[in-house]
Structure 1
Amino acid sequence: MEKSLLIRISRILMIAGIGCPSLMVAANNALDYQSNLLFVQHVMSAQFMEHSS
């Protein structure tokens, strides 16, 4: 195989390796409403932040 073909294939595999998990996370965020609602409520309550004056 040529060097440029190997580089092209490795780039495709690298993008697919990043894209597939990202797609699964995005699909889970869209489909699993209840767990995301609980997380957003926790973040928006900001109970973990210290109030400074």
Structure 2
Amino acid sequence: MKQLLSILAYTPEHAALIEESWLTLDAELRGDAILIVTATEGDDEELY
């Protein structure tokens, strides 16, 4: 069973940094998870 990790990023640049960090994690750890990064550009009020 995989876990789902969803992260809200303020900008696409922030999303890119999150992806870079994700890729530094051990492949075995990443293999057990699905990462979804959403860049909101600050338009995220309805998400909360």
Q: Same fold (TM over 0.5)?
A: no
- TM-score after normalising by structure 2: 0.32
- TM-score after normalising by structure 1: 0.30
The structure richer in strand per residue is 2
Relative contact order, higher structure (CA 8 A, sep 6+): 2
Larger Rg: 1
The structure richer in helix per residue is 1
